[in-house]
Amino acid sequence: MTPDVDMETLRLLVDLAELNSLSAAAQARGISQPAASARLRSFEARWRVTVADRSPRGTALTTDGLAIVSWARTVLHEVDLMRAALTALSDERHAELEVAASLTIAEFILPRWLGELRSRSVVVRPRLHVVNSEKVAELVRSRTVDVGFIESAAVPRDLAHRLVGSDQLAVVVDPRHPWARRSTPVPHEALRNEAWVLRETGSGTRSTFERALRFEPHLAMEADSTTALIGAARAGVGPAVVSRRAVASELETGRLVEVTTDLDLWRPLTAIWLMERRLPDSVDALLRIARAGTTRRPST
């Protein structure tokens, strides 16, 4: 079997031709002069050709050695071009960041995280899939995305996960709703009898509310859009349950009123990914940013 050409020896020969000194060529290659001499002897033995003449005055290339250097320059040029192309291709792939996030995270939190990621000179081109928490997990399992962010208290057991923060839901009503004038928490029985404006089944908002309520609520309207829920609440369709972040401006202007209840409406914000999948550096950096900059639930 014909042996492979040793690229490092070819680079040593090119350096020897350009520097006219084996010592200088060895230094350029980051090896000792004895190691460089041994490398040349091994090359000569392998290919049964003499590439250099040794004398007290130094080491000089033979006619065969000069011919090999001429060929080596062409080969090494192509190798270097290929290396640069592979590096560029790798960088291009690593710049792509597939993320899935449930609605509140996607609309109110994730853009800030991605902005911070870019400000740290991490080159990414994120592609964001906005779906509910249940579908985020499906996209992670199918390897469609590198990482997902969910708002549900129930974390899929088959996926790796990391808590990155917390979010609080709010029960909001139109100012004309009877609950808007209450100064005490709405009784649980009244909550049970009300018809609600809620997100669809599978969303983190819906599961958090049902877990806190401890029974299946009556529905006045169901939607997969937070904007639609807010609009329905403002129109008097019924009380809505949404992230407090999503209704901050409506609460400040009085277009909606937050209702006091005894329900625990805090929910975790969790990153999920495949257990066997190594996280890209960009995802690892994104998770560190998320952990550092997200609201934490107050300790009780």
pLDDT tens, position by position, 43-62: 999 889 999 998 888 888 99
Chain centroid offset of residue 250 CA: 32
- Is residue 97 a contact partner of residue 124, using CB atoms and an 8 Å limit? yes
| Overall pTM surpassing 0.75 (yes/no) | no
The answer to whether 22 and 36 are in contact (CB under 8 A) is yes
- C-alpha 223, offset from chain centre: 28
Statement: residue 160 has pLDDT above 70: yes
Phi and psi at 178, nearest 5°, equal -55, -30
Q: Contact 106/139 with Cβ under 8 angstroms?
A: no
- pLDDT value at residue 114: 87
Task: Give residue-wise pLDDT tens across range 252-281.
Answer: 999 999 999 999 999 999 999 999 878 888
- The single-letter code of the amino acid at 165 is G
**Among residues 256, 173, 261, 179, which one has the least CA distance to residue 214?**
261
Q: Read off the pLDDT band of 296 (50, 70, 90).
A: low
CA atoms of 295 and 300, how far apart (whole Å): 15
Segment 259-262 long-range contacts (CB within 8 Å, at least 24 positions apart): 259/171, 259/172, 259/173, 259/179, 259/180, 259/182, 259/186, 260/182, 260/184, 260/185, 260/186, 261/171, 261/185, 261/186, 261/191, 262/185, 262/188
Predicted confidence at residue 76, as pLDDT, reads 86
State residue 1's pLDDT score.
Answer: 47
pLDDT in tens, 92-146: 445 678 999 999 899 888 988 988 887 775 667 888 999 999 999 999 999 999 9
Domains by residue range for the chain, with CATH:
7-93 (1.10.10.10), 94-164+268-293 (3.40.190.10), 166-266 (3.40.190.290)
